[in-house]
Structure formats: C-alpha cells, structure tokens
Amino acid sequence: MWKRTLLILGLAIIAAAVIFACGPSAGGPAAAKAKKGKVVATVGSSTITTGDIEEILNRMPPFQRKRFADDKGKKELLDNLVNEELFYQEALRRGLDRDPDFVARMDQFRRGILANMVKKTLYEQEIPVTDAEVKKYYDDNKDKFMTPETVKVRLILIKAAQDAPNEEVTKAKAKADEVLKKLRAGGNWDKLCEQYSDDRGTNKRGGLLTRVRKGVRGQEFDDVAFTLPINKISDVFRSRQGFNIIKVEEKTAAELRDFDSVKSTIERQLKQQKLKTKMDEAVETMRKKAAIKINQDVLNAIQVDTSGGEGGMPGMPMMPGQPAGGPMRPGMMPGGAMPMRPPTGGAAPGAGPSAVPGAAHPPAAPAPSSSGGDE
C-alpha cells in the first residue's frame, strides 16, 4: 500500500511536466524556456538548478523559508528534490504516465489551470470605487457600523443544567437564594463569589465580566443585565447556565463608528461586490455564446454516496498531506510542507500567489461591523 502511495506521489509531482509535454513542440510559440541558474545536482540526464531552488523558496512564506536558510536546510531541500526526480524517472520507466487514471487526473488539472488563467485576468483588473460610493454605503447602512451595547457585570453562578433532575435544580436554587440573602445582609461580594460561584473563569476575581454583549449569555441573562440599575444586586434568576445573581457596574450604549474608521473596510467590500458582478457577467456572456444543454433527468439520476470515506479519484489512495475530500494542492510535497520543483523548462503551471484555483467568485469580504468585548 505504501509503495503504491509513493508512486502516486511521483505521478502528482510530474503533473506539470506531463502537461507541457503534451503541448506544442520545441521551438513553437509555447516552447519551454531554458532552465535558469547553475546546476546544483544531476539525476541521470536531469538537472536541478539554483533557479529551481530559488523559485521554490520564493513561493514559500518567510517563516517557512527559515527552515532552509542554513546548510542543513538546503541539503534537506535538495534531498527532497532528488527523491522527487527519482520517483518521476521511475514512474516514466514503468510507463505510469500512460496510466488511464493518471491521464484523466492530469486532464482535470490542465482544465483547471487554463480556466484559472482566464479568471486571473478578471481578478487583476482595476476595480474603481469612488469616495462618494463609499460614503453613500456608509450613510445607507449605518446599522452595520454600530458598536454593540455592552454591560460590565459581576456574576455569581450556581450551575444547574437545563435537563438536570428536579432534586438537583431545587438544591441549586436553594443555594443561590442563600447567597443572595447573605449579600443583602451586607456580605462581601468577592468572598461570597469565590466561595460559592461555579463560574471557574471569574470566581477568583469577583465574578467580573468586563464587556458582555447581548445574545452571548442568553435571553434570560440579557433581560436582567440590560435593565438592572447600576450597582443594584439582582434577584436570583435562571439562565441556560444555571441560577445567577448579578450586579451591573457599568453600561455602554451602542455607538455609530465614525466614517474614517470603516472607510477602507467599505471600499474593500464594494470592490468585492463589483468583482463578483463582473465575474457573473463574464459567465453569463460565455453561457449565451455556448450551446449548453442540460439533461436534467440524467443529472437527477446520479447517485451520491454520503456514507463517508476518503476522497480522491477511484482506485487512487489518499496521499500524505492530501486533505480529505480532495487532491493534494498542486505544487505541495507530502505533508504540505514544501512546493514541488517546477518541471524542466519553466515554472509549474498554476503556481504562484496570484493563482485563484477553483474559485468562480472572489471570497466575500467580511461585513464591516464591529463586535468587541470579553463576552
């Protein structure tokens, strides 16, 4: 099983090379570029150059590059590339580049790259957003830019699960009533909180919850906390956590964030919306030009296995580093630790920070709102 998995890894690594091998012959407009840099190692008739290594390092985030900055790291990187080349050559020797499953998978890979090249041209277009558009969005959606109303409270909680037996609920309620009686008789809040409260995160600091937003601790809690006068001790009330006693120390009303603090967020969101519209229009234009016919009955008859199990192509085991439900990302080594070396003649197709694999639309920007606080 492990040997087969390694062979599949070799096939994944040579994906880009096979794609170019199937392209125009040398000398044509799409002919492969000569490899760059000095030769670091040879593996049979193949070479690994400083250009190959530099391109891999340039694709890595800085924190990952540090791993390969010293001589030991460079040796590790080169060893991986040599091993990769050995698997590639062994796969060719066995004729695995003609394996039907492999050919089908590479066709899917090629289709995805070419489609992404078209999408990339749309993503990289300048999307103008004027200050007037940003200000209009702000004025029309002020409810989205409100800081939430919060309260600063002290809590004593006697836990009682909502599905707890009646005897346990009665006992918890009696305990809470006893604590409230002591508080109203002048008992020290902090000492009683440490002695009785079941809220382990706050009972050593007087039950302090500095900023509680509505909805976090449940409707029952909100109904009391946001109506109780400041510095007044509440009656015992039950919430989903159990029986509560609270004292409100401070209330902060909801406020509108000023325009300058959210301007850049709105601008990003408007650009995302315009880009989505542009993508939708491009798709619609292509659909109108194409002869598309949907056989709905055939589509509906497809059986989808939802029983679970590993993803990937039929008959092909999951690779180390491959996420469940899909193939390993192109250009990644086992475990996702290292991108693959570009094939002889140029960079791996689809690689690079500007590639947007498999996305029909850009990711939506988060709604420009604010919700801070401890709770």
pLDDT digits (tens, 9 = 90+) for 299-314: 999 998 888 655 554 4
pLDDT at 353 over 80: no
| pLDDT of the residue at 36 | 84
pLDDT at 117: 93
Residue 131 neighbours by CB under 8 Å, 6+ apart: none
Q: Give 251's strand partners.
A: 151
- 21 vs 85, higher pLDDT: 85
Provide the pLDDT confidence category of residue 315 given band limits of 50, 70 and 90. very low
Residue 324: what pLDDT?
Answer: 41
- Mean pLDDT, rounded, for 302-330: 52
d(CA 186, CA 171): 23
Report which listed range, 121-125, 154-158, 209-213, is most confident. Answer: 154-158
- Residue spans of the domains in the chain: they are 149-253
Instruction: Give the residue-averaged pLDDT of 14-42.
Output: 52
Residue 40 has pLDDT above 50, yes or no: yes
With a pLDDT cut of 70, the percent of the chain lying above it is 73
Per-residue pLDDT band at 229 (split at 50, 70, 90)? very high
Residues 6+ positions from 148 with CB-CB distance below 8 Å: 213, 214, 254, 370, 371, 373
For residue 124, give the DSSP letter: T
Q: What is the pTM of this model?
A: 0.52
Lowest-confidence region among 110-119, 144-153, 169-178, 355-364:
355-364
Q: Which CATH number does 149-253 carry?
A: 3.10.50.40
The confidence band for 285, taking pLDDT boundaries of 50, 70 and 90, is very high
Residues 316-327, mean pLDDT to the nearest whole number? 40
Q: Predicted confidence band at 122 (pLDDT cuts at 50, 70, 90)?
A: confident
Mean pLDDT of 197-202: 95
DSSP secondary structure letters along 267-335: HHHHHHHHHHHHHHHHHHHHHHHS-----HHHHHT-----S----SSTT-PPPTTPPTTSPPPTTB-GG
- State yes or no: pLDDT of 22 exceeds 60: no
Residue, of 364 and 180, whose pLDDT is higher = 180
* pLDDT reported for residue 246: 97
Q: What is the mean pLDDT of the chain?
A: 79
